[in-house]
Each structure stands twice: as C-alpha cells, then as structure tokens.
Structure 1
Amino acid sequence: MIKHMMLIVVCLLLMVTLGCSHDRLDLENTTLSLTYAYDVDDDDKLTVYQASTIFNKDVKKKYEVLAAKVNTPRQAREVFNSTSNGLIVVGKLQVLLIGERLLKKEGIMSQLDVVYRDPKNTGNIRMVAVKGPVSSIMESNFVDKPALPLYLTQLLDVEKRYNGTISTTIQKLHTYMFDKGITPAISEMKKDKKGLVVTGS
C-alpha cells in the first residue's frame, strides 16, 4: 500500500515537472523590450520604436533599437516580431517615450489603448514626453553611457529623487486624463550635445 502511494506521488511530481518544461523561455531566445517610443512623421504616419536589451557576450552593443512606420501600435508589434532575433516580451516595459508632435495632436489615449489592454503590461510604465523628435533619442549612440533603456531609467530616477520632474506612470496618466480636477503632467526630456537632459514636467 505504501509503495503504491509513493509511486503515485512520484508520478504526480514527474507530471508537474514535465508539464513546465515546454513552457520554458530561455533569456537568450527572447527580446526583452524595456523602452517603447511613439512619434509621428511629417506625413502624420505613426512611428513606433522599441529598445531591447541583448543578452549575448559576443555582441559589442548591448541593446538594439527597432523602428516601424505603421497605422497602429499593434501593427508595430507584428513588424518587430518579424525582424527581431527572439520572441518579443513586453511585460517588462519600463519607459514609454512620446514625441512632442504626437502629444500636440488630439487623442493620445487611442494610441495608448493597446498598452492598456495588454494584460502582460504593468501599470508602472513611466511616461515621458520628448522635446523634439523621438528619433533623436532612440537612434542615438551614446558611447560613454549605459545601454539606452537603463540610461533612461536611471536618469528619471535621479531627477525624481531631487524633485526635478514628476514620475507619472501609465496608470496615473489614465486617471489624470479622465479626472476633470487634475491637469495631466508627465516628465519631459530632450537630447543635447552631452546626452539626455530631463527638462521638467
């Protein structure tokens, strides 16, 4: 009787262990998106950028930036999946940059709808307005700075700590946009000759 119980317990443990093995996702086979950026070009076509970390010792540049000119942000994900070297994971998104030209247009919430509806995204993605085109930041090659996603996060953390800017997450922005008693505010940054500068809110 005890042998049968032990055999059943061992079989159950093996089934549980084997059930998890096919759902495994190796870090080397993923593209971990940490930064997204939205902007519009001269023809009012949406341009979406994605900055993701590369986990490979042999690669000199530790992040890659992908860009897509699309009609909706959901189409951008399809373009990124077709050009990326791994399965795109957006659940760790930290910063969402929005270009000045796109912010001046009405209806930014319709562009952010995809981010809100994706259950894998967290509500603490930081929202940042970019003074000028987003491409000035996303296509930059900072030699003496850390990888772009890490650089953006560290810069925002330091400025928030010293009250240089507000820290607005995507969840807070949703509340600010629909509450008539609150004026929406997000961080603002630009690129200058030395690097990135947080210019306020």
Structure 2
Amino acid sequence: MADMKATIKSVSIDLFFKKGYFATSISDIARGSGIQKASIYYHYDSKAELLFQILKSTMDDLTTTLKQHLTAAEGTEQRIRAAVRGHVCFHLERQKENFIANSELRGLIAEHYRAIVNMRDEYESIFQELIRQGTEEGLFADVDIKILSYAILTLCTAGATWYDPNGRLTVNEIADIYENFIISGLKQGRLSAPASC
C-alpha cells in the first residue's frame, strides 16, 4: 500500500511538472500509476490533497536540509554560506518538486495554503536571523533584513525553473557561484538614498 501511495505521488510530481497542476487530471495520474481512477482516492482524498502533500513534504525536507547544513557550520559567515549552498543544491537536485512548490500554490485550498505559507515563514526566519547576526557582528552591511532575505531566497529558488541537469555546470559549481555572489553582496552592499521607480 505504501509503495502505491509513493508511486502515485511520484507520478503526480512528474505530471504536475510537465503539464501543470490544473491541466493534470486524476485519470492522468491513475493511468501513469497503472491503477483505476477510483483507487487514487484510497490513498489521497483529492487532487488538492495530493498537491498539498507534495508541497508539505518538500518544505519539510527543505527545512531539515537547512538545519543539517547549519549544524555542520561554525561562525556566522560559514553558516550563511552553508544555508545558501543548501538552499541552491536542494532546489536543483529536487527540481520538479520545487518548481511545483513555486508555481502551483494557487491550487491549494485555503487551509492548506495557510499551512504552507506558515512553513515558508518559519524557513525565511532562519535566513533573516543569520543576516541579522552577520549585521550585528559587522560582517555584513546594514540592510533591510526582511527584504534582503526575500531577495536571496527568490534568487536561489529560481534555479528550479532554468536548471538543466545535462548543462555545462554541476550543481556544486552553480552553488559556488550563488554562495560567493551573495556573500559578496552582503559584505559590500550599502543603503543609499532611495531613487524613484
């Protein structure tokens, strides 16, 4: 039973990634899983529940990965380097799930949407605390911590939309570029008088 539940989830990830959540039917998922349409509902209450489980497990794994990277790093600069690297690597190595997580939120029911947003807020707060620590220690420029955390996470997350596993750079080489770029920006960035848009 557990194997079929995992199969349905895996097939759904492939289909949501290729076709999109709304364009994928329960029949598509059942056909890809080699089961009858009605059998899907033995494992998942609905397609929306299936989407939620994909997004929730992805956020759980992402947060666990971040905490593991931070545990292995000492000092604020090394910890934020580890956080950035972990975030980039996770989004490239689990490209399909992360692409879905960032493109299909609108498919969630209100309760599930709030749950995922709360998980994201908790995750973002870890980055914000790291930036705050670096600023207080004089490692980083004095910045708007919340906005900068959004900028960093958006930049690092975007790799899931363009990454090509057969491309010229490895995941680690891409993570190196992101890591050094972000640390350089944190150290050198200075707030100037705001210009108008």
Q: TM-score range by the shorter chain?
A: under 0.3
Determine which structure has the larger helix proportion and give its number.
Answer: 2
Determine which structure has the larger strand proportion and give its number.
Answer: 1
Q: Which has the higher contact order (CA 8 A, sep 6+)?
A: 2
Bigger Cα Rg = 1
